Amino acid sequence: MERGDTKRALVWCGTELLTERGFQVTGIDEVLKRVGVPKGSFYHFFANKHEFGEAVIQNYVEYYARKMTRIFDDESTSPLSRLRAFVEDAKRGMLKYGYRRGCLIGNLGQELASLDDAFRVQLEAVLIAWERRVEGCLQQAIDAGELAPDSDAAAISRFFWIGWEGAVLRAKLTRNAEPLDQFAGMFFAMLAPPARRTRRR
């Protein structure tokens, strides 16, 4: 492989393994064996495992950014429909891997937050960026009349991510989609259109 291809292969392999197993139990030797390159190649690109972990997180962030752009920039559907599409896409992804993989950011946040401040800060910044992305979608929903005019898009987005990450973790534990469906069902019910909320009163 070319040098650039080797680095990409290492990072993608690390992304797969860390998403499934976590940072501390994933050894560099296993990554090298899967990719089929010598240990010297790893240290040519990364000073240590910590630097490798940072590269894996960044790779996941870039991958997720492309996914979010594809879903949330789709103007052929309404803003809330885009958020529902995001949920369904994530469900398909978890099913594809037998619920062994969840969210890399959530996984590493639980594993490393109390052990490594550098990782903790990096991971929290990612979640904040995701919150802002969904906040933009929710603000569009407010502007389109899908949500009440006085809705707080930032607070709703933060609530979504706090609950969604928990649902993803629970889905990994139960090895099924029930936690995802339960959270999504209650979340979207909470966002019932203004007219429906008025009738319920």
- Residue-range domains of the chain with CATH: 57-193 (1.10.357.10)
pLDDT in tens, the chain (201 residues): 445 689 999 999 999 999 988 898 889 999 999 999 888 889 999 999 999 999 999 999 999 999 999 999 999 999 999 999 999 999 999 999 999 988 999 989 988 888 888 889 999 999 999 999 999 999 999 999 999 999 999 999 999 999 999 999 999 999 999 999 999 999 999 987 655 544 444
Per-residue confidence (pLDDT) for residue 201, from 0 to 100: 47
Task: Say how many CA atoms lie within 13 Å of 7 toward its Cβ.
Answer: 11
- H-helix or E-strand containing 133? helix 117-143
Query: How confident is the model at residue 88, as a pLDDT?
Result: 97
In this prediction the pTM is 0.87
Burial class (CB in 10 A: 0-12, 13-18, 19+), 168: buried
Contact 94, 180 (CB under 8 A): yes
All residues at 6 or more sequence positions from 92 whose CB lies less than 8 Å from its CB, including other chains: none
Q: How far apart are CA 166 and CA 57, in angstroms?
A: 19
Which positions ≥6 away from 68 have C-beta within 8 Å? 86, 130, 133
Angle between helices 178-190 and 153-174 (to 10 degrees): 160
CA distance 152 to 87: 20
